[in-house]
Copies of this chain bind each other. A is one copy, B any other.
Amino acid sequence: MSDAGDLIHPVILCGGSGTRLWPASRESFPKQFIPLAEPGRSSFQATAARLSDATFARPAVITANDARFLVAEQLAQGGIGADILLEPCRRDSAPAVAVAALHAAARDPQALVLILPADHAIGDEAGFVAAARAARAGARAGHIMTLGIAPTQPSTAYGYIQPGGALPGEAGASGARAVARFLEKPDASRAAGLIDEGALWNGGYFLFRADVMLDELEVHAPEVLAAASAALATAARDLDFVRLGAEAFGKAPQISIDYAVMERTERAGVLPVSFPWSDIGTWGALWDIAARDAEGNALRGRVALRNTRNSLVHSTGEILTTVVGLDDVVVVTTDDAVLVTSRTAAGEVKGLVEGLRRRSEPEADAHRLMYRPWGSYQRIDIGGRFQVKRITVKPGGRLSLQKHHHRAEHWVVVRGTAEVTVDGVVRLVHENEAAYLPIGCVHRLANPGKIPLELIEVQVGSYTGEDDIIRIEDVYGREGA
């Protein structure tokens, strides 16, 4: 076996939506991209950073098409290079794992592949790396290794793994064992019983030889493998992304790797691990792992409490958030939405968000701050016939060449320098200067400078919706409106 065969090829699965952490987490900006467990770094960034050890090869990231610029941006912030594979639609984890195995096998059929969720917090980075290394022998020997996390409470939120006997030979030297059984999320009393029997949490980490996983997929989930294979064969390179073939990928059944393979294969192994771990599944789970003050409160942002204990209060926008005379509550404030719940009821937030979707509340899925490949924009005011946005364009960023049927726009540059194109005429607009874009003109905004460009856009017209953008040309390959 070559030295390269020792390297682990990590693949981060980044496709979740995390509605239980609404209103911070939304479809347009899901929890793995938000600095929740640590200030200033998202769990996706922490996951990618965890892979900087020499144990790991260049990582791949499999994510939703809509999240592609967010992934690229967050990797760039962390100075991390990765292959980014884009799923044209959501199909749960089995098709993604199949793509990961095929992607690695193209270079080395026996490549060791580690599947990692993007949204977990791990309290001991070295412990994680050591676990990945310890599981390697089992994977090399042909097992599909999982990490079995030592339970800290009889949780009903996780699947459990019942370990069997030690794996034979070198594979078992590190403590790795066969899997006797995968168990779905139990009720509370069953959970306690499972823990007494020595069961472990299934954290969703899988380490395997690419060829082994492909064999097992061929046996247990051939439709998944066929769809993944066709999606890679029809993939397009789009800027820095590998865009999986939409028609082929859409034919994959929506199924998790646990159901598709792990519960059926006889090659499953488990390495018991004991590093501190959380999937940050709910606001209550975040409180569990958060730094807390003497009153047991986990606080973030502009917050003031009085006579309040054991609570999580997160204010992510400008809003001042206050709590008086309550214990064990969760209060999360963003610029456009507020959630108040208890630590124990926090799991019901998913149902709340589903209700908001049925009512077509825009806050259910979209944030006011919207990320784009060129930067971001945020609505700051809206009225009967106008809308005001703050627009930030990164150095070198270029919006699409576009026009509007129903609105004129006034741009006031408040920081940096804008390059404004109007009906073919290009000019520079500096701080404290303005540009006017009449209805119907063909225009483009770009930042030719070295610092971010910020401008205030005042839209005036009978309709100011996002779908009145007629794109004529776009450097980021976006189509239509």
List chain A positions with a Cβ less than 8 A from chain B. 23, 304, 306-307, 315, 318-326, 329, 331, 333, 336-342, 344-346, 348-349, 351-352, 355-356, 359, 361, 363, 380-381, 383-386, 388, 390, 408, 410, 412, 414-415, 431-432, 434, 436, 454, 456, 458, 460-461
Contact = CB atoms under 8 A, between A and B. Distances in A.
A414 B458 contact: yes
Contact of A318 (B318, B336, B456): B336
Given A340-B329, A456-B388, A432 B408 contact: yes
A385 B319 CA distance: 20
Contact of A434 (B306, B346, B355, B434): B434
Stoichiometry, as copies per complex, reads: 2
Say whether chain A's binding surface is mostly helix, strand, loop, or mixed: strand
Given A319-B337, A338-B338, A434-B410, A307 B345 contact: yes
Nearest to A407: B432
A326 B329 contact: yes
B306 A351 contact: yes
A344 B456 CA distance: 44
In this complex, which of A322, A352, A381, A415 has the most chain B Cβ atoms within 10 angstroms of its Cβ? Answer: A322
B381 A456 contact: yes
B380 A388 contact: yes
Contact of A414 (B23, B320, B386): B386
Contacts of A345: 307, 324-326
B412 A307 contact: no
Given A306-B352, A348-B307, A361-B304, A412 B338 contact: no
8 contacts: A321-B337, A322-B338, A322-B339, A324-B342, A385-B414, A386-B414, A386-B454, A434-B436
Given A324-B339, A324-B349, A383-B390, 17 more contacts: A304-B361, A307-B348, A319-B319, A321-B338, A323-B339, A325-B342, A325-B348, A326-B340, A326-B342, A329-B340, A340-B340, A381-B390, A385-B415, A410-B410, A412-B460, A414-B458, A456-B458
Contacts of A304: 352, 355-356, 359, 361
Contacts of A381: 380-381, 388, 390, 456
A272 B363 CA distance: 51
In this complex, which of A337, A355, A388, A456 has the most chain B Cβ atoms within 10 angstroms of its Cβ? Answer: A456
A191 to B, nearest CB: 21
Contacts of A410: 410, 412, 434
Given A386-B415, A458-B456, A320 B337 contact: yes
A339 B415 CA distance: 34
A459 B320 CA distance: 24
Contacts of A408: 432
B415 A458 contact: no
Given A306-B351, A348-B306, A380-B380, A412 B321 contact: no
A335 to B, nearest CB: 8
Given A320-B337, A320-B363, A322-B337, A460 B436 contact: no
Contacts of A344: 325
Contacts of A329: 326, 340
A412 B390 CA distance: 15
Contacts of A356: 304, 320, 322
B348 A456 contact: no
Contacts of A355: 304, 306
Contact of A383 (B324, B359, B415): B415
A391 to B, nearest CB: 11
B324 A348 contact: yes
A47 B96 CA distance: 66
A304 B44 CA distance: 30
A342 B311 CA distance: 14
Contacts of A434: 410, 434, 436
Contacts of A323: 339-341
A434 B437 CA distance: 12
B414 A460 contact: yes
A466 to B, nearest CB: 18
Contacts of A454: 383, 386
B338 A333 contact: yes
